[in-house]
Structure 1
Amino acid sequence: MKIIFFKRILLFLIFLISGLASAQKSERELILIDKDWRFSFGHLYDTEKDFGHAAGYFSYLTKTGFGDGPAAKDFDDRAWRKLDLPHDWAVEQEFSEKGSFSHGFKTAGKGFPEKSIGWYRKKINIPETDNGKIISLKFDGVFRNSKVFFNGYYLGTEQSGYNGFEYDVTAYVNYGGENTIVVRADASMEEGWFYEGAGIYRHVYLQKTNPVHVAVNGTYVTSELKNNDADVIADVTVENKGNYKGSIEIIQTIFNAENKQAANFSESILAPEFYKTITHSSKLYVEHPLLWSIESPNLYRLVTQIKQNGKTIDSYETTFGIRTIEFDPEKGFFLNGKPLKLKGTNNHQDHAGIGTALPDDIQYYRIKKLKEMGSNAYRCSHHSPTPELLKACDELGMLVIDETRLMGINDYHLNDLKRMMERDRNHPSIFCWSVGNEEWNIEGNIVGERITNVMQNYAKNIDPTRPVTVGISSGFKSGISSVVEIMGYNYLGNGDIDAHRNQFKNQPGMGTEEGSTFATRGIYFTDDAKHYQSAYDRKPRPTFYSIEEGWKFYAERPYLAGMFIWTGFDYRGEPTPYGWPSVTSYFGMMDVCGFPKDNVFYLKSWWGNKPVLHIMPHWNWSGMEGREIDVWVHSNCNEVELFLNKKSLGKKKMEQNSHLEWKVNYMPGTLEAIGYKNGKKVLTEIQKTTEKAENIKLSVDKENVQNSKVTVVTVEVTDKNDLHVPTASDEITFSIKGGKILGVGNGDPISLEKDQFLDALSLVQITNFQEQKGTTVTLPQELQNYPENDWKTAFKDRDYKNQASSYIYKGEFELKNNLASNIVSFFYKKIGVETVVFINGNKVNASTEDPQKYILDSAILKEGKNTIHIAVTPLQKIKDWDVMNTNPGVIQVITPAEPWKRKLFNGYAQIIIQKEENVGEVVLFASAKGLRASSLKN
């Protein structure tokens, strides 16, 4: 009896453990699959150079599962480049005057068909235990016009380079085995007039769910404050992709930042029918909530669970914040009932050295830089952002205008808007939706009015809690201006803002773009020949205003909610007012690296809440002794006194939202400013003439995320007194141990230096492939002399039922250079059972890592034409319709990269490094001719 009892207990425990395990397995999994992709360029219109894709009799659009070329499951991609995502292939290219002005003159895109198509492939294993789950691929964004295949099956096309998208691959999975993901990105067409990058530049995930699960972007959280408490409404859309019929339990639980439960609700409902959805709404009560604000970005977490027969089958987390927003046409913008002037910037999504492929930590880095400047708002210009940007804004306290790419009323336009809003509407940082920007053809007419009305009302159906705006620049009189909920003024010189306000007194407004000044960091005399603009804040052109003029205008008008400067950071492309060889914009308050221009200190003075004192320019003007120099001081002190070599040049009073100026005859030494508040000395700032550069200095920027794998390092040089040399232009060479370098930059708008130093990989085809029949099954171990007249085109008219016992093949391949440092490999594609390979008459052996890979010694190779012979015993057809491989393979040539390097620009450069996994310490080394080398441990 005891034995039977213990057996029953054991069986019960096994059943319990297996039940818990199955319940655990049935919950949602979201797996990041950024690592270990293969990449190669295809071709825009040359099918042969595009690996023969879509060239078969049946295409992937004709018959299901007929993906050919690289889209085929078993395509041989071993010779392709191996990389991790995110990846931007455009930033890797050289610059050329033939490149696109708006995209920074990179040799990618429509003018470069050989660099406009990118193929990506990745293999993943999906276990048999996942059979019965819903398996999907999630892409945060691919630039652009992407086609996705899974195991040779075509999944779909996403035209936009900014939309996230998801494909269900459940029916196509090889459970218990290998599966192949393929993406073809076509970046030949531009969506914007700014640098957009190319390729899979955002994250990719594999998702596994129960057939009954929370739908894509399936939660929507809103809140209503009542006295000191909050009602939280949690809508969840449940989807059923299975055959389950019956009840399910919806459990909604709110957790605070300390992971303590703040509210809970549960209810049983009927599951939706097969391939249908239902939306369930819950009301949860949160006592004394901590509100989200720019100073205290308090966040909550909603966990939505679906239970079936008492077991959790799906769990979905939603981060949100509790806060109120309000626009008042007389008093501006209010956050949590308190007036808040919007101090915003517009920004594109690229960064020095890495293009658009930003690691998540760089999103935080950039938002921290803007917050340090005093900014409290960010406009996504002009497209939906990557999710990590919004996450950073939520966590750091930065308000956001989220903007769709294109105005219109059809499925293409409204579906993009819907997907953006449903993805992003739980972010507390977002306070406004933008449905358009500077649509000059329609801004002032009835078409614009109609489109705006449709998009605005459509947006309200998706999210009634936030207002809608449009950025308008062609006059503020009619059309969109007369119907948009929140008027977006793009540049006060483009119309009479006060007049428009007086006509539409019930319409709130803000400056969605303002400033648009030209400035080059560290340059104080405009030099049009060199394409450098002075960093002094001056009116750039008649219809545009300086940063100071713009801020004063908006600061003095309570009815205007605030302004968004064009731009926070410089960006690639649109190098107005110049062209080639300028490759970045001049508009930013900071350059492409995030190094501050002097305007940053003006904004810190009047946007921030800390004492500021800044002198411009630097004081290194050798050869200009006695010449009059404009000296400006940015400060929020009441008074500032300026000294040159201890001699007072006078004390001046600071007006609100202004700056101070002196004319100073240059003399080497020390320029010193003393700031006073209420008659008391509070700050001192100096600019000193430095000695010559002697030392390289590496420092970790304070805006880096603590303990992150990615680190931004500032590179500069100092003199013997450890003073920064502001005019230095030394070229610094870098190396790294325990990590890798992601990119380098310096903020110079005309720098044509490489952003990245990567090994060059080229694929060389074998041509003129011919054959002769062998006379024996034994393959030669030394190359013999074969009669020249007996060679014929390989595989032509092959009778597979009557093959020779062996064959010898001959082909050619061209090497443009035969550097001893090159790594040349032959990736053999099987054309025989047994194989012997000869290169230029020399037998070569397969590598130990791959029996179909041959690493070729440079000693047997030559520049120009090389010959390959392959002796084989033939493959046999099993079925008459079997398609036999006739491609012998490809030659891969890897030319090692130069050392990483970058010139300093006006004393600074930047390098972005990434720590390797499972490495405790990364060490960066820097050296330059005539300077003392430096290293940095991180």
Structure 2
Amino acid sequence: MNKQLPLFLLLLLSIFSCSPSNKEGSKREKININRDWSFTFSEENDEFSSSKKNGEWETVGLPHSFSLPYFRSESFYVGYGWYQKNLIIKKEWLSKALHLEFDGVFQVAEIYLNGKKVGEHSGGYTGFSLDISKAVKEGNNLLAVRVNNVWDAQLAPRAGEHVFSGGIYRDVYLTVTNPLHVTWNGTFVTTPKVNNEEATVNIKTTIENKSLIDKSFILRTKIVSPNNKQVAIIERQEIVKSGEILTFEQQSEKIKNPQLWSPEHPNLYRIETFLLEGDSVVDNYSSTLGFRWFEWTADQGFFLNGKHLYLEGVNVHQDHAGWGDAVTKAGVYRDVKLMKEAGFNMIRASHYPHHPYFTEVCDELGIFFIPENCVWGIGGFIDEGNWKSSTYPTKEEDWTGYNKSAEKTLEELIKINKNSPSIIAWSMSNEPFFSSEKVIEPMKKLLVDLVDESHKLDPSRPAMIGGAQRQNVDVLGDIAGYNGDGATLYKNPGFPNMVSEYGSCVTDRPGDYTACWGHVTDGEKPAWRSGHAIWCGFDHGSIAGNMGEMGIVDYARIPKRSWYWYRNYFRGIAPPKWPEKGMPKSLKLFADKTTIIGTDATDDVHINVQVLDENGVHISNSPDVTLTIVSGPGEFPTGRSITFKETTRNDIQILEGHAAMEFRSYEGGTTIIEATSKGLKPAQIEIITTGLPKYEEGITPVVKARPYQDYRWQQAVETGSSVKVSDARPTRTNSTSITPASLANDGHKWTKWNPISKDGIIWWELDMENFYNVEDVNITFQTATDMTIELASSVNQKDWISLEKLNCNTKQKPYLEWNIKDNTKVRFIRFTFTLKNKALPLSIGEIEVYGKTN
């Protein structure tokens, strides 16, 4: 078996939900239907539900994004798109229960079969299942899906610092089962008792009877060990009436000496569920089980299996270069594997539910996982009507709808992922305090309700409030996750806590060989803190511009130097020799593997190209390089070729003589890919795709070119007017005063910051937690002082640029209104006050900063 994708290949070898080892045999089919879709942009209401009418239709495969190809632009297409597919239904299936299972559609999906609407789903980050049993016919059926990613005041999320591209961007399946069957994600497996010597297992199984008669059946549950040995079997006789859905509970006897799950030893058991009518198995279902116990404590941190363990975490967004959010399972696997290889033991799923396969990989590779609900916002939010709005609705008529949306997403998140041993908490939110002052209280009430709902849905895990460093939301859950300056503001809060985001290296590859955050190495690991998580693992697309450049791995999944720093720090692996300038002579092509398993785009390969000198050594020179499919099947996000340019910022890049892109195929066959650059010796690589249909040169239609299009012409987010970007944001100062620097931006002009400096030079620094064009600064002074004020800016809190300088006599004018002429987008600004008379005190009531994101 290919060691690079052990779990992934296991899943591909068995497309059914049951284990291939059970003797009863597979009775349900789960068929991937990613291939052969048609797509067009259209706002037609239902014109394309029953036939293919006018429109510029494109043949596409799933996963697919409206923004394809996407390269980290701040803007993206917002609107409607239609998908169509011919769905073939076999005659013998007409007596079965048929369901469509979507792993994720952003963000509203309306599903039609043969012109009849069979269901819809709102919410872009969780999967859903639709019963189509009564809507299908034998033979060809037209499946049509209308998708939109239009901002909705009542739909979570209403804002965030990534992008919101539409599309059927995750996998889709057709499941065929007996009318008597286990429902979608229909088991809940817990371990009421577990220790080193013994454990018990509790299984709740939800069963539906869609037949016209009552059904008597045996529910048989087997527990299978990591080495494929049956360790327990439980049976009970039950009856489900026609049309009923019932949940049955089973409890195992004691299982001796369980193999515990941990990051070092991710031992996975299986729960094999069988429904028998008489001696015949009519349905079977497989679930994951990991024996482990954990505890979050207020004073001693986190414990796993009775031993203290510090959580060294990383935040992860889901999108990849070129493909955007439309990532394959293989791409998901590589992401988790990269973080595991660097030595991290925990991932926080910032800031929405991820692909269900993400959780499976965390289970398999052994890395803790904290999934997160999509209740979050953006600093410097503006008025209603766009993706930069208040986290919580500002209009009361939207409260009920928004609350239901947030609760529904949480319910689906837990339902889909609840059996994974890697999950150690459910996060309710991220920085929900980015809400209008007038709705802070209803925002808090929603968080309380979400925590209560989490406890009901899964009593076995605690609820976290992520990004809890403002507005006292940290006390509303079981665990507080503090972002940014919360690491220093909240000392020993008296309840379980961690730093859910730290670090802000804003840089393209290669970046610096650094941790980005001093607390990693300076001993800032007090006993009461359970862990911390770096922001962030990967570069990503962001409506906030440079916010997407904070990864320790770049957008194309090539590690920056900080990734190597962490790997060395955690695992003791020295970094490689960094490439240097040389004389380019040739190109080198290589991939993470050279075989793609199957033609449904659940698998792909990561193609890399490097520039070499005459000795075959990788050098940092970065000429334009083009990858072209010379023959055979497959595609890049841009079509049959892709060109990397050094001069293109935030787009299709080659940096340090190295570029990469993911390649997928929807037909079987052999593909030859060639890398070329003017004046250099080219290189080729052969990729084999297994499965049907086979590609026939000159006969099989090939994907058309998809030129990269920057949607800045169609602003997904309107610019609007300047907004205040200073209130309650993180601050730093050189002052030795006991009054905190945060009094200068607490939103109250009557509170005073009284800085002290022996040499009369005082600086005050603001982290706006986003990137803004600073336009205006207002300062209210509380004392009469003569001084000069210098304003400097930075994108990374390291390299500072002086913007403007002025003289200020606060005796003549205690209130300063300062219009800033420089329109560079920055994150950090620093005020340096140089007092002309050191004996006169400086006292500031408030510093207000206003800016725009566009």
TM-score (norm 2): 0.68
1:720 paired residue number: 614
Give distance in 2, aligned partners of 1:42 and 1:196.
Answer: 18
1:404 aligns with one of 373, 376, 386: 373
1:929 paired residue number: 678
Superposition pairs of residues 272-291 of structure 1, within 5 angstroms: 272-291=241-260
Alignment of 1:83 with 2:71, yes or no, is no
Give distance in 1, aligned partners of 2:266 and 2:279.
Answer: 36
Q: Displacement, 1:246?
A: 4.5
Paired residues of 1:733 and 1:928 also in contact (CA < 8 A): no
2:588 paired residue number: 697
Alignment CA distance shift 1:706-1:512 (3 Å): farther
2:47 paired residue number: 69
Q: Secondary structure at the match of 1:513?
A: strand
1:518 paired residue number: 506
Alignment of 1:218 with 2:218, yes or no, is no
Q: Secondary structure at the match of 1:157?
A: strand
1:751 aligns with one of 643, 649, 664: 649
Q: Secondary structure at the match of 1:38?
A: strand
2:473 aligns with one of 464, 476, 480: 480
1:172 aligns with one of 135, 138, 149: 135
Alignment CA distance shift 1:588-1:254 (3 Å): same
Alignment size in residue pairs: 625
Structure 2: 5+ residue stretches without partners: 1-22, 377-398, 688-854
**Deviations for 1:23-80, whole angstroms, at most 9, x for unmatched residues?**
999932211111111111113xxxxxx3xx3xxxxxxxxxxxxxx41012x4458973
Superposition pairs of residues 294-693 of structure 1, within 5 angstroms: 294-406=263-375, 410-441=403-434, 446-472=441-467, 474-475=469-470, 479-492=472-485, 496-498=489-491, 501=492, 504-505=493-494, 507-522=495-510, 535=512, 537=514, 547-552=516-521, 555-574=524-543, 576-577=545-546, 585-606=548-569, 608-612=570-574, 614=575, 690-693=581-584
Q: Displacement, 1:738?
A: 3.3
Paired residues of 1:352 and 1:745 also in contact (CA < 8 A): no
Q: Secondary structure at the match of 1:450?
A: helix
Paired residues of 2:593 and 2:605 also in contact (CA < 8 A): no
**Deviations for 1:66-116, whole angstroms, at most 9, x for unmatched residues?**
xx41012x44589732221111120326x8xxxxxxx7234511xxxxxx2
**Deviations for 1:468-503, whole angstroms, at most 9, x for unmatched residues?**
11123543xx632123211110112576121xx2xx
Question: Which amino acid counterpart does residue 714 of structure 1 have in structure 2?
Answer: N
Question: Which amino acid counterpart does residue 337 of structure 2 have in structure 1?
Answer: K
Paired residues of 1:746 and 1:908 also in contact (CA < 8 A): no
Q: Displacement, 1:915?
A: 5.2
2:124 aligns with one of 148, 157, 161: 161
Give distance in 2, aligned partners of 1:570 and 1:752.
Answer: 10
Alignment CA distance shift 1:705-1:464 (3 Å): farther
Give distance in 2, aligned partners of 1:564 and 1:515.
Answer: 9
Q: Secondary structure at the match of 2:552?
A: coil
Give distance in 1, aligned partners of 2:212 and 2:253.
Answer: 31
Give distance in 1, aligned partners of 2:410 and 2:366.
Answer: 24
Relative to structure 2, which stretch is displaced further, 217-226 or 568-577? 568-577
1:29 paired residue number: 29
Give distance in 2, aligned partners of 1:370 and 1:742.
Answer: 25
Alignment CA distance shift 1:443-1:258 (3 Å): farther
1:253 paired residue number: 222
Q: Displacement, 1:412?
A: 2.3
Paired residues of 1:591 and 1:747 also in contact (CA < 8 A): no
Alignment CA distance shift 1:907-1:39 (3 Å): same
TM-score (norm 1): 0.63
**Deviations for 1:755-807, whole angstroms, at most 9, x for unmatched residues?**
xxxxxxxxxxxxxxxxxxxxxxxxxxxxxxxxxxxxxxxxxxxxxxxxxxxxx
Superposition pairs of residues 7-18 of structure 1, within 5 angstroms: none
Paired residues of 1:138 and 1:205 also in contact (CA < 8 A): yes
Superposition pairs of residues 702-851 of structure 1, within 5 angstroms: 709-743=603-637, 751=649, 753=651
Q: Displacement, 1:605?
A: 2.7
Q: Displacement, 1:318?
A: 0.8
Give distance in 2, aligned partners of 1:489 and 1:120.
Answer: 41
Q: Secondary structure at the match of 2:448?
A: helix
Paired residues of 1:195 and 1:573 also in contact (CA < 8 A): yes
Structure 1: 5+ residue stretches without partners: 1-22, 44-49, 54-67, 96-102, 110-115, 524-534, 538-545, 578-583, 615-684, 755-902
1:262 paired residue number: 231
Q: Displacement, 1:239?
A: 1.7
**Deviations for 1:491-537, whole angstroms, at most 9, x for unmatched residues?**
12576121xx2xx42x11111111123122136xxxxxxxxxxx365
Q: Secondary structure at the match of 2:134?
A: helix
Superposition pairs of residues 114-129 of structure 1, within 5 angstroms: 116-129=79-92
Give distance in 2, aligned partners of 1:443 and 1:705.
Answer: 49
1:907 aligns with one of 651, 657, 660: 657
Q: Displacement, 1:702?
A: 7.6
Give distance in 1, aligned partners of 2:454 and 2:255.
Answer: 28
Paired residues of 1:713 and 1:910 also in contact (CA < 8 A): yes
Give distance in 1, aligned partners of 2:632 and 2:257.
Answer: 48
Give distance in 2, aligned partners of 1:310 and 1:592.
Answer: 54
Paired residues of 1:733 and 1:927 also in contact (CA < 8 A): yes
Give distance in 2, aligned partners of 1:591 and 1:704.
Answer: 24
Alignment CA distance shift 1:246-1:423 (3 Å): same
Alignment CA distance shift 1:492-1:314 (3 Å): same
**Deviations for 1:859-897, whole angstroms, at most 9, x for unmatched residues?**
xxxxxxxxxxxxxxxxxxxxxxxxxxxxxxxxxxxxxxx
Paired residues of 1:242 and 1:275 also in contact (CA < 8 A): no
Question: Which amino acid counterpart does residue 394 of structure 1 have in structure 2?
Answer: D
Alignment CA distance shift 1:75-1:741 (3 Å): closer
Q: Displacement, 1:189?
A: 2.6
Paired residues of 1:352 and 1:747 also in contact (CA < 8 A): no
Give distance in 2, aligned partners of 1:392 and 1:746.
Answer: 31
Paired residues of 2:294 and 2:306 also in contact (CA < 8 A): yes
Question: Which amino acid counterpart does residue 499 of structure 2 have in structure 1?
Answer: G
Give distance in 1, aligned partners of 2:77 and 2:61.
Answer: 20
Q: Displacement, 1:230?
A: 1.6
Q: Displacement, 1:730?
A: 3.0
Alignment CA distance shift 1:712-1:441 (3 Å): closer
- Computing the radius of gyration from Cα coordinates, the structure with the larger value is 1
Give distance in 1, aligned partners of 2:184 and 2:577.
Answer: 56
Q: Secondary structure at the match of 1:520?
A: coil
Paired residues of 2:623 and 2:646 also in contact (CA < 8 A): no
Q: Give % identity.
A: 29
Give distance in 2, aligned partners of 1:41 and 1:589.
Answer: 35
Q: Displacement, 1:592?
A: 0.6
Question: Which amino acid counterpart does residue 37 of structure 2 have in structure 1?
Answer: W
Question: Which amino acid counterpart does residue 70 of structure 1 have in structure 2?
Answer: F
Paired residues of 2:579 and 2:620 also in contact (CA < 8 A): no
Give distance in 2, aligned partners of 1:518 and 1:119.
Answer: 37
Alignment CA distance shift 1:495-1:746 (3 Å): farther
Paired residues of 1:233 and 1:284 also in contact (CA < 8 A): no
Report which structure shows greater RCO (CA 8 Å, sep ≥6).
2
